[in-house]
C-alpha cells in the first residue's frame, strides 16, 4: 500500500466511524498510520500477528478470570514475545509505528500499550489506555482494583501511588499531580497522541515532509485543533513554502488571537513575507 492509498484508507475509516458513531479500531488505525510511512506494511498480516498472540495467550492462561487472562497477555507479549521498551533510541519515529513495533519487538509506552490493548481485546479483556503526563499505561479490567499495567517496563503492575511516583520521576516536581490523569482515553484521543509523538519524532529528525503527513492525519481526527495549523505553517516555512506557511499561520492567528505565542507568530509571519519577497 503506497502512502496516498494509506492516507485515503485512514481518512475513509475515520469518516465511516464518525458517520456510524463507532469508536475507531485501534489496531487497524495504527497499522494504516504505519502504512503511510512504510509502503511495505501489510495491514492484514499484522492483524493476523495480533490474532496469533491472542490465541497464544488463551492457550496459556490456565483460567478464564480477568486476572488470569491479563497475566497471560502480559506474559505472551513481554515474556515469550520479548517485546520491550526502546530505551536506547526512544525518539526514533519507528517507535510510533505499530507495524514496526511488531517487527522489531520494541517501542515506546503508547504503542506497547496499544499492542497489549488489542491483544487483550481479542481475548475478551477490554483494557483502557491512560495517558499519564510523559508516560502511557493501561487500566486493569477490574475498575475496583485501581491497578494499572506498564508495558514499557515489561508489564509491571502499578497502583495509584506508583503512578504518582512515576510522574514525579519524569518531571521532578514540575507537574502537580491531578487524579484526572488516571482518566481513560477514548481511541481517538489515543490515536492523536500516537500521531503527536510521531510528528515530534519526525520533526526532530528533520523529516519535515513526514511530519506534515502526521499533521494531516491528526487534523483528520480533529479538524478544529488550531495548534496543528501553527505547526504545519512552521514546517512549511522550514521547507521554504512561504505562501502556505503564511496562510496557515494567519489562519492560526484568526482562530487563536489571544494565544500565548500570538505575538511570536505575528513576528514570524512578518519575517516570512520579507523572505518571500526577496
Domain C-terminal end among 122, 157, 186? 186
As beta bridge partners, residue 131 has 136
Q: Are the C-beta atoms of 65 and 83 separated by less than 8 Å?
A: no
Rounded to the nearest angstrom, the gap between the alpha carbon of residue 244 and the centroid of all alpha carbons in its chain is 27
Structure pTM? 0.95
Structural domain that includes position 62 = 3-186
Give the model's pLDDT for residue 31.
Answer: 98
Q: Could you tell me where the DSSP H helices lie in 23-108?
A: 26-37, 43-60, 66-75, 98-104
- Which of 132, 166, 186 finishes a domain? 186
**Averaged pLDDT, groups of 10, the chain, 278 residues long:** 94 97 97 97 98 97 90 96 96 97 98 98 94 96 85 96 96 94 96 98 97 98 96 97 97 96 97 90
Span 4-21, pLDDT tens digits: 999 999 999 999 999 999
Region of residue 183 (phi > 0: left; psi between -120 and 50: alpha; otherwise: beta): beta
CATH number for position 261: 1.25.40.10
Listed in sequence order, the residues at least 6 apart from 81 whose beta carbon sits closer than 8 Å to its beta carbon are: 53, 105
* Total structural domains within the chain: 2
- 142 and 24 both lie in a single domain: yes
> Domain boundary at 140, 166, 186, which?
186
Q: Please give the Cα distance from 238 to 243 (Å, whole number).
A: 12
250 and 145: one domain? no
Amino acid at each position: 500500500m503506497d502512502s496516498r492509498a494509506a492516507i485515503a484508507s485512514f481518512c475513509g475509516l475515520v469518516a465511516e466511524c464518525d458517520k456510524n458513531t463507532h469508536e475507531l479500531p485501534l489496531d487497524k488505525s495504527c497499522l494504516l498510520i504505519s502504512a503511510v510511512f512504510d509502503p511495505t506494511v501489510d495491514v492484514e498480516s499484522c492483524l493476523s500477528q495480533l490474532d496469533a498472540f491472542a490465541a497464544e495467550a488463551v492457550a496459556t492462561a490456565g483460567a478464564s478470570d480477568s486476572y488470569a487472562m491479563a497475566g497471560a497477555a502480559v506474559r505472551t507479549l513481554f515474556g515469550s514475545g520479548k517485546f520491550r521498551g526502546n530505551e536506547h533510541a526512544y525518539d526514533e519515529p519507528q517507535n510510533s509505528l505499530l507495524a514496526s513495533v511488531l517487527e522489531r519487538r520494541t517501542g515506546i509506552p503508547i504503542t506497547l500499550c496499544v499492542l497489549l490493548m488489542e491483544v487483550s481485546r481479542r481475548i475478551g479483556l477490554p483494557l483502557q489506555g491512560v495517558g499519564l503526563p510523559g508516560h502511557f499505561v493501561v487500566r486493569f479490567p477490574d475498575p475496583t482494583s485501581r491497578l494499572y499495567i506498564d508495558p514499557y517496563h515489561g508489564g509491571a503492575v502499578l497502583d495509584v501511588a506508583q503512578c504518582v511516583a512515576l510522574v514525579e520521576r519524569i518531571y521532578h516536581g514540575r507537574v502537580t499531580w491531578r487524579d484526572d490523569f488516571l482518566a481513560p482515553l477514548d481511541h481517538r484521543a489515543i490515536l492523536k497522541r500516537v500521531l503527536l509523538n510521531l510528528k515530534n519524532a519526525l520533526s526532530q529528525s528533520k523529516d519535515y515532509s513526514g511530519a506534515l503527513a502526521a499533521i494531516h492525519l491528526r487534523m483528520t481526527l480533529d479538524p478544529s485543533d488550531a495548534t496543528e495549523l501553527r505547526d504545519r505553517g512552521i514546517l512549511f516555512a522550514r521547507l521554504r513554502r512561504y505562501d502556505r506557511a503564511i496562510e496557515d499561520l494567519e489562519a492560526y492567528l484568526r482562530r487563536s488571537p489571544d494565544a500565548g505565542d500570538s505575538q511570536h507568530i505575528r513576528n514570524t509571519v512578518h519575517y516570512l513575507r520579507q523572505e518571500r519577497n526577496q
